[in-house]
Amino acid sequence: EWLDLAARPESQLVLLTDHAHCEKKAASTAMTLMFRYVDRPELLNKMSRLAREELIHFEQVLALMEARGHRYDHMS
């Protein structure tokens, strides 16, 4: 089962790396929307906050990886 595989200690690095990439992509998407919809101030404010929040999450995942002795890298 997927959950059993994900819970294995050897899966930690892959899961954390994937999670970090997802946080980074969410921040990037928010920034893309800010550039696309410059005429929508209500959206600009929300997307700006979202981008910052997702980057904080990204930093938290990086810190967790570092605390566990893992290095952030590209997914293959």
Distance (Å, whole) CA 45 – CA 37:
11
Distance (Å, whole) CA 32 – CA 20:
18
Residue 31 forms part of a structural domain: yes
Residue 74 forms part of a structural domain: no
Residue 56 forms part of a structural domain: yes
Boundaries of domain holding 7? 2-67
Residue 59 forms part of a structural domain: yes
Q: What's the per-residue H, E or C state across 28-43?
A: HHHHHHHHHCCCCHHH
What pLDDT does 1 receive? 87
List per-block mean pLDDT (blocks of 10 residues) for the chain, which spans 76 residues.
88 94 98 97 96 99 96 84
Side chain identity at 19, as an amino acid letter? Answer: H
**pTM more than 0.75:** yes
Residue 49 forms part of a structural domain: yes
Residue 72 forms part of a structural domain: no
Residue 75 forms part of a structural domain: no
Q: How many domains does the chain have?
A: 1
